[in-house]
Structure formats: structure tokens, C-alpha cells
Chain A
Amino acid sequence: MTLLQVEGLKVDINADDAPMPILKGLDLEVKPGEVHAIMGPNGSGKSTLANVLAGRPGYRVTQGSIRLDGDSLLDLAPEERAQRGLFLAFQYPVEIPGVSNMEFLKASLDSLAKARGEQQPAAAAVIGEARELANSLDLDPSFLKRGVNEGFSGGEKKRNEIMQLLLLKPKLAVLDETDSGLDIDALQTVSEGVNRFRREDRGVVLITHYQRLLEHIVPDYVHVLAEGRIIQSGDKDLALELEAKGYAWLT
């Protein structure tokens, strides 16, 4: 059974009131247990793919399909996709003063439980788990009381994304450049978090610009995205080749 199936995906955005094609027929298949790395130059459409998977408004799918566990996601709102087990770790997480991280996490967990007909978790249990996760990701637990990402450094924001990933336990995680802007220690912490998430029934789409992340999170497949298409796929050695030669030889 395929976890994520993307077929012939074409996506436009509106630029200067005219549609501009960004993804031009993209295929991707992720099975449970697999980690797929997607690499590509700036502007190649990596974030567009991540956003379209999660249902961000502002994009128009003109052709193709996206299926999670066999069900089409295209007509679903972002919250419905999350409720079915999709998670996007943002390249640029937003700051939201006035709503604490704890409120946000609890609201997410409650919404997911409600949609799945499960019992909402007790606040004390959530706080306990969130504290532990924060510790394991070198986030000061006091951050739970602060506004969502408010005043966080770039690295703290990325660690907060991983903290949410581990708390919400989706089936499929799409990580958009979670490694960018991290120093070596933080990269290690974040990678360790993603590796903890890996399980035989869960999938990961790991979008990155740099090969160094893949030394910590070893992928099953590496794809090269350029000009809106996957132009090359291979195993982890493809990433090393890209590192050595750049993207130019492929495009």
C-alpha cells in the first residue's frame, strides 16, 4: 500500500495576475517506512510542492492527483489533510504573539482527536509530554508559555516544528528545509528528532538544499527537483554526487 501517491501534478501560482506554472508534471510515491529526500536548486518548486501537499491557499492544481492512503487530498481543506495524518514542517514558521505554544499544541491535539472520534487528551498529560519533548530538543520548557514562535531564533523555530511533529504523530511528515539556518549542534538535535519519528508505518518527505542533512537522516531515495519536475531519482549516493558536481550537469 502506498502512503503518498503524487501523479502528474501540475501547479500554477498567480504572479502579476497571470497564472505561472511552477510544477509541471511531478510524480512521487512514498511507501510506509520510507524517507524520500527532495533536493533542488532555489526556486525549483520544492516549497510549492510542500505547500500544495498541505493545502495552502494561493496555488492552483491544474492537473494530476495527490492521494494519501488512497484518498484524494485535492478537495480537502488543510485541517482535513492534517486530520488524515499529514504534517508540514514549515520553512518559515510564523510568529503569533498572544497565543501560547501550549494553547496551540493543545488546540491541535484536541482538533485531531475530535476529527478522529478519539478522546481529547488530558491537559496535564499534554504538558508533560510537551515538556519532555522540549527537553529532548534542547528547547527551554518555558517556551511553552510564550507566544507561538514569538521572538524565537531561526533554530528555535525549526526545533519547535520538530517538537510539533513528535507530539502530533502524523503518518506522513513533509519537512521543508528544516535544516537551513541550523548550526551543527542544532542540526544533530533536529535530525535525531526526525529519526525518532521514523517508523515502519510512517513516511517522510525531506526537502533540503544541502547534502549534509542526509548524513544524519539517511534517506531511502533521493530525488532531484528542477524546473517543476523530478529529473533524477536514486539512492543516497545521488546526494553525494550532487554535492560534488552541483545541479548544472543535470539540467
Chain B
Amino acid sequence: MADLVLPQGLSLPSWMQAGDQGLQGIGQIDSVLQAALDSPQFRERWKYTRPRPLLEHLEDPQQLPVFEGVDQEGITLTTTAAPSFCPRLEPQHAPEATAKLCLANTLIVIEVVKPLTEPLRIQHTASSQPVLLRLHPGAEVALEETYAPGEFLQQAVWIELEDGARLSHARNTFEAADWHWQYLYVHQAKHSAYSLHNYTTGTQLRRQDIHLVLDGEGCEAKLLGAARIDSKTTLDQHINVEHRQAMGNSEQKFHHVVADGGKSTFNSRIHIHPNARGSAAILSNKNLGLGQSATINTKPELEIYNDDVQCAHGATIGRLSDDEMFYFTSRGIASPEATALLSRGFLNQCIQGALAEAASNALTHVGITLDHA
């Protein structure tokens, strides 16, 4: 990879050095980030997608998304240059995301202090200012994100779940973009619960980074995903689930349909740290290739440093089963519709929750709904 450089004159804002999670004593942020960019880990993370366009657009203008559900009691939203808290930052894991935070003049800070009844909705209309969401101990909310089309789009979200907080997160990403980057970092304190329903299509290029850290005892995390990658579109998902403390539970289930000429990369890593005894982690990625030239890279990884854990991971790449096709065609359904129905069924196995109906409609071409059943 040719040399990658960040925008010049990057400095660490003072709010990022404050608090017990801040980056005090880190020294020159430029050199730290540059070292991370030059590392083998970074190259591995960006093996199938060239990161240069992303870095070149880090300083693009950023918009305030449209919010719903921020008028409830128990939630505050502020746009500020100096946030009230600093999320955990791990420059060595995602230097480009840390750089984005350093560069931002305005950040969106959302704090939730108790269980909310209405969902928090964020509609990204373009590249968004970085979002920092903190759920205080015992707080609960449903977060729904949707996206508008654009050229170079970037949205980065940092989530801090304090003790016992519960976040049910859904996002539907179906709009076209030339180069779309979605970065998501979730840090969980003890007994917190996080779920993500991640529904997406491919586009010219869509890159999703999801970094989940179970950093307290007894955390729960569940990731469910469905994606359709059409001809001439690309989806690159990079997921990292770290169990840093004991008794955590994580589950990942992703189903992808990749059409002729589509390209899908799925890389998910489960990392069980030495402290994380009693952890359970499962990961499954199933891919359905349609046509002759679907490109599917799937790489589930396990890295385990504790013996007292239960882990399972698997990935499959397959085609529609002949038996299923015959069952449907024998009932009069022509092959294209049978293919569409069966692909829809395959994706529906991973579609649930708040945005499910829109997701199911967007991801499948068959216009049959179940409204009356």
C-alpha cells in the first residue's frame, strides 16, 4: 500500500484528554495515528477496500442529521465543540475514526439518563457530524438510523453503555453512494445489553466498521444482519467483538445474498481476552450466491486467550437448493420469482425488530406483504 497520510496539523482537542477514558499522555496525536496507519493491522483491516478516498474526505463538510424523539424527558442533545464526556478511544484500532473526531469542529452529544418510551431516530441527510451517545446506568432506548443517498458519505457513531444500560439499535442503509463509510464503536460496561439490527444493500462502495467491546461482567451483545449485494455493488463489513471481561455473551448472525457481479466482504473477529472467563460467543455468516460471478470473501476469526469459554463460528457460501427451487416451481411459480422468494426467505431469517418491515421490502424484490395474514 502506498503511503497514507492524514490531514496536516492534527492536534488533540482538550476534551479528548479529560476524564479517565481520555487520551492523556498519548503525546503527539499525529505520530500515534500515523504509526497506526502504517501498521500491518491497518492494512489487514483495509485489505479489500482502498482507504485513501476515505482519508481524503475526512474533512468534508458535515451536516446535522434530523432527529426524532429528543424532546422526551430523560434525553438531552447538544451540538458542541467540547463534549461533556469522552468515549473510549482506541487510535491503534481505528486511526481514521480517531482522526475524524480530532478534526470535527462540532460534535453531536446525546445523553440518556433513564429508560425512554419513544425511540430515538437519527436520519442522516449527508455526511454527519460525529455522534457520541451515552446511556447512563440503567438507561434504555431504541435507536433507529436511516440514511440519504450521496457521493462521499461518512457517519461515525460512538456509544457508551454504562452499567445495566440497554440499547436496541437498528439501522437501514439502502441508499446509493459512491463511497460510504459507517463507523460504529460500542463500549459496554457491566450488565449492559446491546443489540444491532443491521440491514443494508451494497452500493458503489459501502464500508461498515463495527467495533464492540464487552468491558464489564455479564454484558450481552447481539448482532443480526441481512444484506443484498446487487450486480456492480460492493459491501465491505469489518466487525470486531472483544470480550474483555467475564461472563459476556455475544451472538452474530449475518445472511447475505450476493447477485451476479456483486462483491461482498465479511470479516468478523471474536477476541476473547485473558480476563474473559465464562464468555460465550457465536458467529455465523451465510452467503447465497446468485449467478456465476458473485464475489464473496468471508472470514470469521476467533482469537481466544481464556480456556473457560464457549465459542462457535462458521461461514457458508452456497446456492439456492434444488429441492427448494423444485418445490416452488412445481407450484407454478416461475424460476425468477421462486429465486426472489427463496432469497427473501433466506434474508428474512435475520430480519426482525423495529425497522424489519422496511428492511424486508427494501432487500427483496417480491412485492407480497403479509398485512392480512
Contact = CB atoms under 8 A, between A and B. Distances in A.
Interface of A: 54-58, 77-79, 81-83, 87-88, 90, 93-94, 96-100, 102-104, 106-108, 111-112, 115, 123-124, 127, 144-145, 147-148, 164, 168
B332 A83 contact: yes
Given A90-B327, A147-B345, A100 B332 contact: no
7 contacts: A79-B330, A82-B329, A87-B330, A96-B324, A96-B345, A98-B345, A148-B327
B331 to A, nearest CB: 4
Given A98-B346, A98-B349, A127-B373, A54 B341 contact: no
B373 A168 contact: no
Contacts of B333: 79, 107-108, 111
A49 to B, nearest CB: 15
B368 A97 contact: no
B344 A98 contact: yes
B370 A94 contact: no
Interface string B31-74: 00000000000000000000000000000000000000000000
Q: When A and B form their complex, which 4 residue pairs have the shortest distance between CB atoms, in order from nearest?
A: A98-B345, A99-B345, A82-B332, A98-B348
A104 B341 contact: yes
Contacts of B326: 54, 56-57, 78
B331 A145 contact: no
Contacts of A83: 332
Q: Would you call the interface of chain A mostly helix, strand, loop, or mixed?
A: helix
Contacts of B322: 57-58
B332 A108 contact: yes
Contact of A79 (B334, B347, B366): B334
Contacts of A87: 330
Contacts of A168: 331-332
A22 B331 CA distance: 25
B179 interface: no
Contacts of A98: 344-349
Interface string B333-373: 11101100110111111000000000000000010101111
Contacts of A145: 370, 373
Contacts of B371: 123
A88 B330 contact: yes
Contacts of B152: none
A30 B102 CA distance: 80
Given A97-B345, A147-B345, A111 B370 contact: no
A115 B332 contact: yes
B85 interface: no
Nearest to A101: B373
Nearest to A105: B331
A82 B331 contact: yes
Nearest to A142: B373
B329 A79 contact: yes
Contacts of B366: 107
Q: Which of A56, A93, A97 has the most CB of B within 10 A?
A: A56
A100 B370 contact: yes
Q: Which of B328, B332, B371, B372 has the most CB of A within 10 A?
A: B332
A93 B327 contact: yes
B347 A164 contact: no
A104 B328 contact: yes
Nearest to A130: B373
A108 B327 contact: no
A145 B346 CA distance: 16
A19 B214 CA distance: 57
A191 B338 CA distance: 30
Q: Which of A57, A98, A147, A148 has the most CB of B within 10 A?
A: A98
B20 interface: no
Contacts of A148: 327, 345
